[in-house]
Structure 1
């Protein structure tokens, strides 16, 4: 494999990638279930299934970008929120990172490439 790809795609620790990948599976599983079990809904077209697969595979890199930016802004501060608000915010940010993974991931891959040179 090309060294640039190894530095970029291999930049996340395997445990982190697997953990985020498993969380990212929630959204395509929900959409596939809804598309096959709803009234009058047809199964998703192949091109949408490809997009679901790409978003899911790239989600850990998108989430890495999000967590890095938020970590930089927030730092070591701790905020106390009601559980409902925290859970809703967490779900929204996960959905955002998953839905836009195709667009956000290149930033993460470039970031990981330059971070691996240190």
Structure 2
């Protein structure tokens, strides 16, 4: 019931796009952890790190939702046109930061979705 309400409150395209971004970032981090091991067997700390990354990757769409809602409230319907050379690196940095801190930010997004879906029923 809880998961159905939370995931049902989001558009499927939004979830797919967020999980694709999350999967790319997760793949980069897994590669980095394995590359740093330089052929050594995976130790408990590396497995724990990858587990935390995995949980963060699953929570990323809710973290992104918080960012998008804050942006919507602050900017309203305004549209800013920026050169792609500035916009794309900025979007990459924002998505990476949201992915890194998703364990801390996502509970706000989940609570927001829970309350929003409760009001609509």
Instruction: Give TM class, smaller chain.
Output: 0.7 to 0.9
1:63 maps to 2:64: yes
Give the number of aligned pairs: 116
Q: Deviations over 1:28-86 (max 9, x none)?
A: 11121223235847557111111111111100111011011101111111112121110
Distance verdict in 2 for CA 1:41–1:31, change over 3 Å:
farther
Unaligned runs of 5+ residues in structure 2 are none
- Secondary structure of the residue aligned to 2:106 is helix
> So what's the TM-score if we normalise by structure 2?
0.84
- Moved segments of 4+, more than 6 Å: none
Do the aligned residues in 2 keep the contact of 1:62 with 1:101 (CA within 8 Å)?
A: yes
1:30 to 22, 28, 31: 28
RMSD of Structure 2 on Structure 1 (CA): 2.0
1:16 to 14, 36, 49: 14
* Structure 1 residue 104: Cα displacement: 0.7
- Secondary structure of the residue aligned to 2:97 is helix
